[in-house]
Amino acid sequence: MQNRQLLRQKQQKNNMKKNYRIIISGGGTGGHIFPALSIANAIKSKHPEAEILFVGAEGRMEMQRVPEAGYRIIGLPIMGFDRKNLLRNIKVLWRLFKSQRMAKKIIKDFAPQVAVGVGGYASGPTLKMAAKMNIPILIQEQNCYAGVTNKLLAKDAKMICVAYEGLERFFPHEKLKITGNPVRATLLNNRVSRAESAVAMNLDPEKRIILLVGGSLGARSMNESMISSLQLIADNPDVQFVWQTGKYYYNEIVERVEKAGKPQNLQITDFVSDMTSALGAADLVISRAGASSISEFALLGKAVILVPSPNVAEDHQTKNAMALVKNEAAIYVSDSEAKEKLVSTALSIVNDSEKLAQLSSNISKMAKPKAAEDIAEEVIFLAEAYNEKETRRKNENLK
Per-residue pLDDT tens digits for 85-97: 767 778 888 999 9
Residues of the chain below pLDDT 50: 15-16
Cα–Cα distance between 101 and 382 in angstroms, integer? 25
Helical spans, DSSP H, in 176-315? 185-188, 194-200, 220-227, 230-234, 250-260, 275-281, 291-300
* Side chain identity at residue 206, one-letter code: E
pLDDT of residue 15: 41
Pick from 265, 301, 303, 308: which is nearest to 284 by CA? Answer: 303
Cα–Cα distance between 309 and 215 in angstroms, integer? 10
pLDDT of residue 218: 61
Contacts of residue 146, Cβ cutoff 8 Å, sequence gap at least 6: 154, 167, 170, 171
Q: What is the CA radius of gyration of the chain?
A: 23
pTM over 0.85, yes/no? no
pLDDT of residue 7: 55
